[in-house]
A and B are shown apart, each in its own frame.
Chain A
Amino acid sequence: MKPVFMRYTKNDIINFVVLLVIGFLVVPNFIQSDYWYTSILLPWLCLTLAALGQNIVMGYTGQLSLGAAGFMCAGAYACYNMMLRIQDMPFLGALVLSGLIAAGLGIIFGLPSLRIRGIYLMVATLASQFFIVWVIDKFGWFKNYDVSGSTTFQKIFISGVAFTNGKMMYLLVLAIVIVLTLLAINMARGSTGRNWMAVRDMDIAAESMGVSLLKTKLQAFAINAFLCGISGVLYTYTYLKSAEPFAAFNISLSFKIMFMAIIGGLGTISGAFIGAAFILLFPVVLNAIGNNVFHGMIDATIISSIEQVVFGGLIITLMIFEPLGFAKLWETLKQKVIKTKS
């Protein structure tokens, strides 16, 4: 298909406009309850960003990494300290700077990727998970010596406008996610993305074509950490609002983000969105079904255990039948529909 605007095809633009309309017009007008914004849409959008980063480093560049929560933590506390210590620090400025700080850390913790690969690299990248969170917890300065151990993050004001209620925060986070996703799509489809995938598929050949392994791998780690850092800021500022480093950014969050990338579909952008939705929302859906259908019949604790079993079973089934994740499943379905139509 021929690109009509920059490098986007007609289909891309139609999809984009439809999603914009849904995101900015349909959702805010139809959903009024704060619950939907604060406990479903916001964490979904925030973690989508982290899953996107994870997908870039793992799905596109093929470097197994497991430390997304560490970079999220770094981003969140970088932003907290900038907002706290620098007068009149604009939130968006602090947001981008926190992302950059996280990116710097990403480069440092991505260094092992130059020597080791595969599952061993994953273990090495765990360092970011443990080290960053430990440092922030250990040195009181980062938490402004709060005796309770937890940190209450500031309220968001952008040029005088308060982003405190669910809907406003949703609109802000959505705008940021859209911008970053567009940038990610541009990179993934352009020469940058080709370099990533070349390194993933056959590193020796990539090197012989002039792709620098060092640069490409570290670039992917930096972009991953940047997205995770931004995700961490948004996650804490809009969703958690107050957090303890060890409790909020534990290893299970890192695992969750990795699963989002895998289940959504490695090496796809849409996979991050679908994967995050599945991992976050499906337990909620199962919970609702369990409570409504089996209410009173079975003990509540058993229902919640059954939910876990069903959830795990679904993941296994999906991985067996479609190892490339939901994004691939969606593509195949679309192809089938087009085929039957014509």
Chain B
Amino acid sequence: MPLKKKSIKAKKKKSMVDNRKFKIGKPILEVKNISLSFGGVKAITNISFNVLKHEIRAIIGPNGAGKSSMLNCINGIYKPQEGKVILNGEEIKPITPNIMSQKGISRTFQNLALFKRMSVLDNILVGRKLHTKSNFFEVAFQFPRALKEEKFNREKCEEIIKFLEIENIKNTEVGKLPYGLQKKVELGRALATEAPILLLDEPMAGMNVEEKRDMCRFILKVNDELGTTIVLIEHDMGVVMDISDRVVVLDYGKIIGDDIPDVVRADQKVIDAYLGVAHG
């Protein structure tokens, strides 16, 4: 569904948008006609939408609607049978997680994909991989460049740890942390990449109200201060309506709505998908 001009105008009326440091710009990421199936099961059918620079874009939908599959297609973990992903006006081909990370897409995972036996700091330091140029030889012999990079990366990660308010656990093994904190660490790792686009797969799943509020604050702050474009999947409608600029609604692998939160909330199709419709 093409973006309606009206919806952007409506959005701009809100005072919140006007004092943004990074104004919402042109499309930075576009997916076009993506279809993905596993054998006979169609996970995603012909989905197209775009993400504008500096916006917070939410993908919502009931369980099994294909939200995570969508992110996995963008990120290259799944290979869609059809369709393309366009980043900054350039079609990316082939799409692999590695290439996408180099092109500036970082992500978190639905079921936590942390490095369980490493400390919080080390986990976040892995996120600095793309900013580390020294090879194993330089690291082994502790060449000046390797030392300098290591020091710089550690400082950056300390900043992120401070930002996420997890200083007290920075040397703890990640596997031993409670779920909510692990989610924070995963966000930290994604932030460490300094990627312009973040894909967050249910960043607030399984959190209590307070943790959710913290997480929202972090996401908004990242978007606000660094101008990071954020694509997030979330189930909590309240959160989605509050923080996102535009929402895509998926159901059974198809788009049933794509607009600003207020419009989506009032859409009968969306309400039906979430609450169910009485048939007959």
Residues of A whose CB lies within 8 Å of any CB of B are 6-7, 183-184, 186-187, 190-192, 194-195, 197-198, 200-202, 204-213, 219, 223, 267
CB <8 Å contact, B115 and A197: yes
User: Which partner residue on chain B sits nearest A62 by CB separation?
Assistant: B117
Question: Bound state CA distance, A223 and B136, in angstroms?
Answer: 10
CB <8 Å contact, A201 and B136: no
Q: A191-B149, A202-B114 are in contact. Are A208 and B140 (CB under 8 A)?
A: no
CB <8 Å contact, A201 and B150: no
18 contacting pairs across A/B (C-beta < 8 A): A186-B140, A186-B142, A187-B136, A187-B139, A191-B128, A191-B153, A192-B136, A194-B129, A197-B122, A200-B117, A201-B118, A202-B115, A205-B113, A208-B101, A209-B189, A210-B193, A219-B136, A223-B136
Question: Bound state CA distance, A106 and B166, in angstroms?
Answer: 41
CB <8 Å contact, B115 and A192: no
Within 8 A of A (CB), among B223-249: none
In the complex, what residues of B have CB within 8 A of residue A7's CB?
Answer: 142, 147, 150
Min Cβ gap A49→B in Å is: 15
Q: Is B146 on the interface with A (CB-CB < 8 A)?
A: yes
Query: With contacts A6-B147, A191-B153, A219-B136 known, what are 11 further pairs, Cβ within 8 A?
Result: A190-B139, A191-B134, A191-B149, A192-B140, A194-B126, A195-B126, A204-B77, A207-B97, A207-B101, A208-B77, A212-B98
CB <8 Å contact, A192 and B101: no
Question: Bound state CA distance, A186 and B150, in angstroms?
Answer: 12
CB <8 Å contact, A198 and B98: no
CB <8 Å contact, B115 and A201: yes
CB <8 Å contact, A210 and B129: yes
Question: Residue-by-residue, is B186-199 near A (CB-CB < 8 Å gives 1, otherwise 0)?
Answer: 00010001000000
Min Cβ gap B157→A in Å is: 11
In the complex, what residues of B have CB within 8 A of residue A194's CB?
Answer: 118, 122, 125-126, 129
Among B15-23, B102-110, B257-265, the stretch that binds chain A is: B102-110
Question: Bound state CA distance, A150 and B56, in angstroms?
Answer: 71
Question: Bound state CA distance, A184 and B141, in angstroms?
Answer: 10
CB <8 Å contact, A209 and B193: yes
Q: Is B130 on the interface with A (CB-CB < 8 A)?
A: yes
Q: A6-B142, A192-B140 are in contact. Are A198 and B134 (CB under 8 A)?
A: no
In the complex, what residues of B have CB within 8 A of residue A213's CB?
Answer: 98
CB <8 Å contact, B150 and A190: yes
In the complex, what residues of A have CB within 8 A of residue B146's CB?
Answer: 190-191
In the complex, what residues of A have CB within 8 A of residue B147's CB?
Answer: 6-7
CB <8 Å contact, A208 and B107: yes
User: Which partner residue on chain B sits nearest A190 by CB separation?
Assistant: B139
Q: Is B116 on the interface with A (CB-CB < 8 A)?
A: yes
In the complex, what residues of B have CB within 8 A of residue A6's CB?
Answer: 142, 147
Q: Is B33 on the interface with A (CB-CB < 8 A)?
A: no
Question: Bound state CA distance, A237 and B244, in angstroms?
Answer: 68
Q: Is B127 on the interface with A (CB-CB < 8 A)?
A: yes
Of the candidates A186, A187, A201, A208, which one forms a contact with B117 in the assembled complex, judged by CB atoms under 8 Å apart? A201
